[in-house]
Amino acid sequence: MAFKSIGIAGKPHKEDVKQTALALTKWLRDRNIEAVLEDHLGNSLQARPLQREDLAKHADMIIVLGGDGTLLSMARAVGNERVPILGINMGGLGFLTDITLSEMYPLLEKIIKGNYTIRKRMLLKTTITRKNGTQRTFQALNDVVINKGALARIIDIKAAINGEYLTTYRSDGLIIATPVGSTGYSLSAGGPIICPGVKGIVITPICPHTLTNRPILIREEDTVALTLLSKEDEVIVTVDGQVGHPIGYEDTVHIAKSENAIAMIVPPGKSYYEILRTKLKWGER
């Protein structure tokens, strides 16, 4: 694929991100590739600025400068697999943005010459149906979390898989994660690490009252229905840790594999197991 234009998105209010975007814009122009920048970057660099949601309409690829949170936000904005995304780590841990700044330019040289692989990553379609019938729909690349507020007691969540009753969780909440999201909140709550190529969805209870309520891996084609049975005032559905929506008694959250997917550029020579070793510091004393 020949890249005629490349979008650049980045973490807002970060001077190092702006400086990197400036240098990257010049590098691309020197190679006759148009740089299309997210609005807060484009305005500061006197380049054509676009809203994050519009970058994919004007770019053949999108480079995300920041951490995993910035990439998650970009993935939801793109919403489909048409435009591949490359994450450059300028944030924290960085499981999704696993390319360092020192690796960026040598890697981009390979990419513009066609030496790269694209991997599709599943999105979760999440529909919140209120007791009064109103609905809100979101997409998640990492996870969907139902969590009690700071002052709420343990909450009861009735879970069904493909319409069949599974159990009623009594816990601080539930995490529904994709394989990509399995190294996030789900992992810290005791969930398994799932390799990105595995076709599944993991349900992880948060501090369950019943110790036999353990994480469960279901098929990616399964649908999950979660109904809140508690009358607590503060229960929130959070999508990718960034978008929150309150729910109430007998509201239901339906979660299923989305029709859309996200295309991620995988650099040559980068192993998922190498990333796990590095990020989780396995083998270190």
Which of these ranges, 1-10, 221-230, 246-255, 269-278, has the smallest mean pLDDT? Answer: 269-278
Domain spanning 5-116+267-280: which superfamily?
A: Probable inorganic polyphosphate/atp-NAD kinase; domain 1 (3.40.50.10330)
68 assigned to active site: yes
Residues 52-98 have pLDDT tens digits of 888 888 899 999 998 888 888 888 888 776 899 999 988 666 677 77
Burial tier of 271 (Cβ tally within 10 Å: 0-12, 13-18, 19+): exposed
Q: How far apart are CA 252 and CA 250, in angstroms?
A: 6
Q: If residue 101 lies in a helix (H) or strand (E), which one and from where to where?
A: helix 101-112
Residues 75 and 120: beta-carbon distance below 8 Å: no
Does this model's pTM top 0.85? My answer is: yes
Question: Residue ranges per domain, the chain?
Answer: 5-116+267-280, 123-260
The residue count for the chain = 285
Which residues have C-beta within 8 Å of that of residue 29, sequence separation ≥ 6?
35
Half-sphere exposure of 18 (CA within 13 A, CB side): 13
Q: Which of 60, 68, 172, 251 is catalytic?
A: 68
Q: Which CATH architecture group holds 123-260?
A: Sandwich (2.60)
Strands 200-206 and 235-239: unpaired
